[in-house]
């Protein structure tokens, strides 16, 4: 299982050739479900535990299966509804399966919450069963939430926004992007860590994307375009919080999130153009990019591709 996790880690971080690449986010944050602020790719360990638990469910629900009769015979489980335990130590396979009860309880998931015997109906019931099938994915999700109580707020994963952009903003929220100060902290030597756009502050992720005078000017123009009162953000987290709680109409909110995430993404691109290609982009040019990019995202990737560019140009939050 450790080897499998290693392969997955190498894939996410860019392959074994990139051994010395900086790992920007802790692995447990990557496997943590999105509902608790993670990236939600899930761990093999939790998948394995959920799969093992499914065997326990099958043991009690398929009494006529040949394998169940063998297990019941070996471990003398017939007629003992609440027992799963392995009697004979030589049967290590079943022993491992039965141990999953303990493993669940170690992460504060009482086995009774996963499945229990109902005396009144003489049946086993489980909240993880739907349409008669034990849902491994649902249990895995529950296990991961219990295993990783890392919670730094809900992050809106909006369909209309490309995954690479969402992934970038998710990282930026935790200050895990290659800004000058972050690179320096990780031992990369740089001539200067001062922001090249304003030359007046340390280049941190929050500075590039929220507090730099260039970012402030871009947000001012974007808010003007949206017909909203101006806002000064202090961090990427500020932007996410504002966007994900704004207004009462979910459709409009979704559009605003798309526009503001597009703004953050375009500010990052502008920063990279300046550093790596020596191209200086003015605020107006960045805003034009945000407008066309968010238009394309909403039109082609959003659930209601009804944004009219002419309407969008004057009142993007119209719905
Ligand atoms: Zn700056």
Q: Higher-confidence residue: 240 or 1?
A: 240
297 Cα–ligand 1 center, Å: 28
11 Cα–ligand 1 center, Å: 34
280 Cα–ligand 1 center, Å: 13
268 Cα–ligand 1 center, Å: 12
235 Cα–ligand 1 center, Å: 13
Taking the C-alpha atoms of residue 93 and residue 138, their distance in angstroms, rounded to an integer, is 24
271 Cα–ligand 1 center, Å: 10
- Does the pLDDT of residue 30 top 80, yes or no? no
H or E stretch covering 168: helix 163-173
Q: What is the dihedral of CA 270, 273, 278, 280, to 10 degrees?
A: -20
In this structure, which long-range contacts are made by residues 209-213, counting pairs with CB atoms below 8 Å and at least 24 apart in sequence? 209/172, 209/236, 209/239, 209/264, 209/267, 209/268, 210/234, 210/235, 210/236, 210/238, 210/239, 211/235
Taking the C-alpha atoms of residue 71 and residue 66, their distance in angstroms, rounded to an integer, is 9
16 Cα–ligand 1 center, Å: 35
Tokens of 230: 């101006």
Taking the C-alpha atoms of residue 297 and residue 292, their distance in angstroms, rounded to an integer, is 9
Per-residue pLDDT tens over the stretch 46-99: 888 899 888 888 888 887 888 877 777 777 665 555 566 655 555 567 777 888
Taking the C-alpha atoms of residue 124 and residue 67, their distance in angstroms, rounded to an integer, is 19
293 Cα–ligand 1 center, Å: 23
279 Cα–ligand 1 center, Å: 16
292 Cα–ligand 1 center, Å: 24
Per-residue pLDDT tens over the stretch 179-198: 999 898 888 888 899 999 99
211 Cα–ligand 1 center, Å: 7
């Amino acid at each position: 299982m450790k080897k499998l996790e290693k392969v997955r880690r190498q894939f996410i971080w860019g392959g074994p050739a990139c051994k010395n690449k900086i790992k920007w986010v802790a692995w447990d944050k990557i496997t943590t479900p999105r509902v608790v602020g993670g990236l939600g790719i899930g761990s093999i360990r939790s998948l394995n535990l959920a799969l093992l638990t499914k065997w326990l469910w099958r043991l009690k629900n398929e009494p006529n299966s040949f394998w169940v009769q063998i297990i019941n015979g070996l471990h003398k489980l017939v007629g003992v509804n609440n027992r799963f335990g392995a009697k004979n130590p030589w049967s290590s396979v079943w022993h491992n399966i039965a141990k999953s009860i303990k493993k669940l309880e170690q992460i504060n998931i009482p086995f009774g919450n996963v499945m229990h015997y109902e005396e009144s109906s003489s049946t086993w019931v489980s909240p993880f069963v739907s349409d008669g099938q034990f849902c491994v994915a649902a249990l895995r999700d529950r296990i991961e939430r219990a295993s990783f109580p890392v919670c730094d707020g809900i992050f809106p994963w909006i369909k209309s926004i490309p995954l690479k952009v969402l992934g970038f903003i998710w990282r930026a929220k935790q200050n895990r992007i290659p800004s000058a100060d972050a690179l320096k902290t990780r031992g990369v030597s740089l001539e200067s860590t001062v922001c090249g756009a304003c030359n007046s502050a340390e280049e941190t992720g929050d500075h590039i994307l929220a507090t730099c005078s260039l970012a402030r000017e871009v947000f001012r123009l974007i808010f003007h375009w949206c017909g909203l009162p101006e806002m000064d953000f202090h961090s990427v987290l500020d932007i996410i919080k504002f966007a994900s709680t704004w207004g009462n109409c979910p459709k409009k909110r979704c559009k605003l999130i798309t526009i503001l995430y597009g703004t953050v993404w375009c500010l990052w691109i502008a920063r990279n153009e300046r550093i790596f290609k020596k191209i200086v982009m003015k605020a107006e040019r960045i805003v034009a990019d945000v407008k066309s990019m968010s238009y394309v995202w909403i039109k082609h990737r959003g659930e209601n591709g009804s944004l009219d560019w002419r309407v969008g140009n004057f009142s993007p939050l119209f719905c």
